[in-house]
Amino acid sequence: MNTIADFLNHSYMANPDKIAIVDDNSKLTYHELNQKVISFSSFLNKFPQNSIISLLFDNTIESVIAYLGIINSGCIGHLIPTRISQSNLVQQISSAKSKLVLSSNKNFSKISEIESNNIEKLRFSEIEKTSSDVRNPRSSDYAYLIYTSGTTSSPKGVPVTHSSCVFTTGNIVETLQYSKDDVNVLPLPLSHSFGLGCLHTSLFVGSTLILQKTTDVSEILSSIKNYNANTLAAIPSTLSKMTSGGFEESLNMLSDLRLIITNSTFFPPETIKKLKKILKKGKVATYYGLTEASRSTFMIFDDDEKIESVGKPCKGTSLKIVSNNEESSIGEIWIRGHNVIEKYWDEEHTKANLSDGWLKTGDLGKIENKFLYILGRIDDLINISGEKVYPQEIERVVKVLSGIDDVVAVPMRHESFGQVVKLFVKKSVNSNISKTEILAYCIKNLERFKVPAKIEFVEDFPRTDYGKIKRFMLK
Amino acid sequence: MNIDDDVKKIFIEAFPAISESDFEWDKLQKDYDDWDSFAQLNIITLAEAKFEITFSDDEVTSISSAKNLLDCIKSHL
């Protein structure tokens, strides 16, 4: 298989009557999906190959048809999260140079407000079959464009080729043993690299994908039960919520899963242990990757000693730790391999972040016995009198306290120490925890210099369109 | 709890090695084994959080005993 279009063709030819995709309202077999994709892509043949077509959809069958239709027509799918702000939406469409913006009926009001004479704006329901011409993408063509979430800076356009997707999907299938017999529950947006990779994987092996619109735990558990699913892909916070109480009676629905996969954000060891206990025979796994270098490592949690690692590099992928201090084993993680993009959409980002095929991730890490450990973001380090402190180290300690929903540690300027720690705390509903209780706990459990010099309670944190906290806005 | 008790509690929290019976109002910074500049910062942060006050830079550097801290807090209330 050379392109994403081949994934669907192959699975359609092998098992046309198998259920390919399910959402809240309907389901499609591979035959039906293939027919709808061909019909949809015929409309797009009026655009030159490699045109950018922007998509604004929730997780629905429509969104899969639209995406695969774009792929089939040799165009590039620009995937936009539905929670995007209007200003960011306008910025992305302008930067991407979209020819057409497509949305579901529900999201059309957002795109109808975009002022431009050069961009066509349509609802999914307005697309009609217009020709029977078939165009095929080439493996070197771009398949999709995603703008990174911008947790540390302004969003960067990341174009990914078909060949890179084929490589990454092959690695996922091999490492996590996906097969046509799988039924996969997906409460992740297809506009994000994690969710999109799961769609590619399901099409690649010809399995069934159950799309969830939200991360509601009850709905996820119901889907697993109703569809007899055997894999679940979810972000760590969804899995932690699932195991943190309130769902005890329903958690046995997870016990027959063969795989729970999550991604590289901090995955609390307690959650991993709880999930492993629930699963009869199944595996818990994570991966480390960026939109620019999808699935660079995989970790299957067989060994509790390495529970904080994100695993070893995938086949065909190299990692190295780059540090200015020769004596330190900690430094920036650089990645090279077929999964790494060749360039960003804008040249300025290419110059800043890519060097001789190596992607400078901006993530801090260390490699021990070939296993990678993520320590945080370089930009987030707090320098207290020359001591480098990872905010995650402080956050992990404080998060253990009951009555706290989430915390973020950031640097705060200080006359004597250069920087000290400032802690933003989001309390749980009805929590009465005080600042002095948090401080006293920090004094007992952290080195003195890491104890926050200021604590501020907040209602919530500024977040990206993907829901990640924008740390740079708190500094 | 009165202010005296609160200040005493701050010291016991800031110096976990000190028990209530070891606590002395007039014991000076130099007589503590572990009252360094970061411990100073911890004491100030605890006091500011507890009493919802902000110390000036001069006050921060002048605090060198539990008694000092108590007087300083009282001047803000």
* Amino acid A92: pLDDT: 92
Decide if A436 and B49 are in contact by the 8 Å CB cutoff: yes
Amino acid making up residue A200: H
Q: Which of A310, A450, A323, A332 is nearest to A391 (CA)?
A: A450
Q: Write out the residues of chain B at the interface with chain A, using a CB-CB cutoff of 8 A.
A: 10, 13-14, 16, 36-39, 41-42, 44-46, 49-50, 57
Q: Which positions ≥6 away from A182 have C-beta within 8 Å?
A: A202, A205, A207, A208, A230, A231, A258
The boundaries of the domain holding residue B31 are 3-76
Work out the mean pLDDT of chain B and round it to a whole number.
92
* Amino acid A149: pLDDT: 64
What whole-number distance in Å separates Cα of residue B9 and Cα of residue A440? 10
Number of folded domains in chain B? 1
Which region, left, alpha or beta, applies to residue A137 given φ > 0 means left and ψ of -120 to 50 means alpha?
beta
> What residues are paired with A283 via a beta bridge?
A259
Using an 8 Å Cβ cutoff, are A333 and A361 in contact? yes
Contacts of B41 in chain A (CB under 8 A): 417, 420, 448, 451, 453
Helices (H), A265-390: 269-278, 347-353
Q: For position B34, which CATH number holds?
A: 1.10.1200.10
Residue B2: Cβ within 10 Å count: 7
Using an 8 Å Cβ cutoff, are A428 and A451 in contact? no
Q: What is the ipTM of this complex?
A: 0.87
What whole-number distance in Å separates Cα of residue A414 and Cα of residue A411? 9
Q: Which of A438, A439, A429 is nearest to A459 (CA)?
A: A429
Q: Which positions ≥6 away from A196 have C-beta within 8 Å?
A: A79, A144, A146, A190
Decide if B42 and A443 are in contact by the 8 Å CB cutoff: yes
Question: Is residue A271 helix, strand or coil?
Answer: helix
* Amino acid A152: pLDDT: 53
Contacts of A424 in chain B (CB under 8 A): none
- Sorted by where each starts, the structural domains of chain A and their CATH numbers stand as 4-375 (3.40.50.12780), 381-473 (3.30.300.30)
Q: Could you tell me the mean pLDDT of each successive run of 10 residues in chain A, 475 residues long?
A: 97 98 95 95 92 96 97 96 87 94 94 86 88 83 89 79 98 98 97 96 98 92 96 91 80 93 83 93 96 96 90 96 87 97 92 94 94 90 87 91 93 90 94 94 92 95 79 85
Question: Is residue A192 helix, strand or coil?
Answer: coil
* Amino acid A466: pLDDT: 66
Helices (H), A97-137: 108-112
Decide if B41 and A439 are in contact by the 8 Å CB cutoff: no
Interface test with B, best of A415, A433, A451 (most B CBs within 10 A): A451
Q: Which positions ≥6 away from A221 have C-beta within 8 Å?
A: A242, A247, A250, A251, A253, A254
What whole-number distance in Å separates Cα of residue A440 and Cα of residue A432? 15
* Amino acid A153: pLDDT: 57
pLDDT tier at B22, thresholds 50, 70, 90: confident
Give the closest of B13, B44, B50 to A443, CB-based: B13
Decide if B41 and A451 are in contact by the 8 Å CB cutoff: yes
Mean pLDDT, rounded, for B26-45: 92
* Amino acid A81: pLDDT: 92
